[in-house]
Amino acid sequence: MPSNDVRILAQAAVPTAAVGAAAAVVSGVVAGGKGAVGSVVAALVTVLFMGLGLYVLQRTAKSLPHLFQAMGLMLYAAQILLLFIFLAAFRHTSLFHPRAFAFTLIATTLVWIGSQTVAHMKSKILYVEPESSEGSKPTKTGPSS
């Protein structure tokens, strides 16, 4: 991954992990050990799903730039759908507290999306690749005179 992509990933993952840790502490106090486990699992699921989505989106941007916007919209919709499916699949589990898991999943997902948006808006990404100055002459386009 290029440095801009890694920077955006880190700027989204760190606040998400911090919110997940805070949620684990709160859930541990409110719902006991199973609440803390549910919050940790939710934070890990969010970082995994969203990090993988960011990676796929960046690969698409490089290989198929004309599909970038449509792919981004489809990817976010698919991520939210997958998170809800994951939530429904583990609704009646006894491994962790389902409500702590659900609330942490929602909170960390919102934090990830917000942090990724802020990181992307602050990054200075070139939209047009500059020509190399080495041995390349600008070519004249248009009608010849």
Q: What is the mean pLDDT of residues 28-46?
A: 91
Per-residue pLDDT of 50-104, as tens digits, reads 888 888 888 887 788 787 788 888 888 888 888 788 878 877 878 888 888 889 9
Nearest one of 117, 108, 123 to 15, comparing CA atoms: 108
Q: In the prediction, which pLDDT does 134 show?
A: 61
Q: How much is the mean pLDDT over the chain? A: 82
For residues 98 and 35, what is the distance between their CA atoms, to the nearest angstrom? 8
pLDDT in the model for residue 89: 82
Contact 98, 91 (CB under 8 A): yes
CA distance 125 to 3: 10
pLDDT band at 125 (very low <50, low <70, confident <90, very high): low
Answer yes or no: is pLDDT of 4 > 80: no
Helix (H, G, I), strand (E, B) or coil at 36: helix
Token pair 């500059």 in the structure block, residue: 130
The more confident residue out of 89 and 140 is: 89
Look at residue 25 in the predicted model and tell me its pLDDT: 94
| Assigned token pair, 87 | 């939530």
Residues 6+ apart with CB under 8 A from 43: 16, 17, 19, 20, 21, 23, 24, 104, 108
Query: What's the chain's Rg over C-alpha atoms?
Result: 21
Q: Is the pLDDT of residue 137 over 60?
A: no
Residue 47 neighbours by CB distance under 10 Å: 19
pLDDT confidence bin for 28, thresholds 50/70/90: very high
Which residues have CB under 8 Å from 37's CB, separation 6+? 95, 96, 97
Q: State the sign of the Cα–Cα–Cα–Cα dihedral 70, 73, 74, 79.
A: positive
Residue 88: per-residue pLDDT: 81
Averaged pLDDT, 114-128: 78
